[in-house]
Homo-oligomer: A and B are copies of this chain.
Amino acid sequence: MCELLGMSANVPTDIVFSFTGLVERGGNTGPHRDGWGITFYEGKGCRTFKDPDPSCHSEIAKLVMSYPIKSCAVISHIRQANRGGIALENTHPFIREFWGRNITFAHNGQLSNYKELELNDFHPIGKTDSEIAFCWIMGKLREKYPERPKSWPAVFRYIARLCKQLNKLGVFNALISDGVYLLAFCSNNLHWITRRAPFGEANLIDKEMSVNFSEVTTDKDVVTVIATRPLTDNEQWTQLQANEWKLFKLGEVI
């Protein structure tokens, strides 16, 4: 299995605190040592750092922690391989372009019979069930939107319906974003929290580290963090139910 981390915020925000907790689970406090990746959106562009090495020992993860990149939408993933060996091409997040937007996808879970998913224009580069499922989603979008979508929330609601279909094939917790919207789909394990004024202090579970968000935010900031398991032990995270999904934009549920 794997663990997911996502962020949606109304101001460019760094995710160093949450990411620091996550990387510990990539070989230290958790068994997810088969690679990791993180995608930051900045405007319409995005950049991805990934590594097939365990996140807890990764030089690139150290850079991400020491050089805060501010973003309104982030997706990250640490991997414990099941389908597909340990290799860069099997490392999440996966990205495809669709109507001029980078669509980013990361998955936690395992699917059966995924080889029966019919693909059209989008093909997997690696060997994971996750990337095949993503290519299937993208192909379905291509079919449904031969013209540029007028409503992107409608695109994401359609993706949520496709996620429900995939969830019938096994365990399918997923985060999907275009840099504006972030969809969190829950199969069996996904939690989220929205931080807003008045901000307080938070303590990481996986590392001795605290942050007082009131010192690094303004009263207008709204920041939602989504994670497979809560990353802090003194805040109230909300658990998503099976087949439940939330669509976020600028930190708010829409």
Contacts and interface: CB of A to CB of B under 8 A. Distances in A.
Given A63-B60, A63-B63, A126 B96 contact: no
Contacts of A91: 45
Contact of A126 (B44, B48, B121, B122): B44
B96 A47 contact: no
B45 A125 contact: yes
Contacts of A63: 59-60, 63
Contacts of A90: 45
Interface stretch (A97-105, A162-170, A208-216, A219-227): A97-105
Contacts of A100: 123-125
Is chain A's binding surface mostly helix, strand, loop or mixed? mixed
Interface in A103-122: 121-122
A100 B128 CA distance: 13
A34 B142 CA distance: 34
B88 A101 contact: no
A183 B3 CA distance: 38
A206 interface: no
Nearest to A122: B97
A46 B46 CA distance: 15
Q: Which of A50, A63, A67 has the most CB of B within 10 A?
A: A63
A122 B121 CA distance: 11
Contacts of A101: 125
Contacts of A124: 100
Nearest to A59: B67
A44 B102 CA distance: 20
Nearest to A66: B59
A88 B46 contact: yes
Interface in A3-18: none
Interface in A26-83: 42-52, 59-60, 63, 67
5 contacts: A43-B89, A44-B125, A45-B87, A63-B63, A101-B125
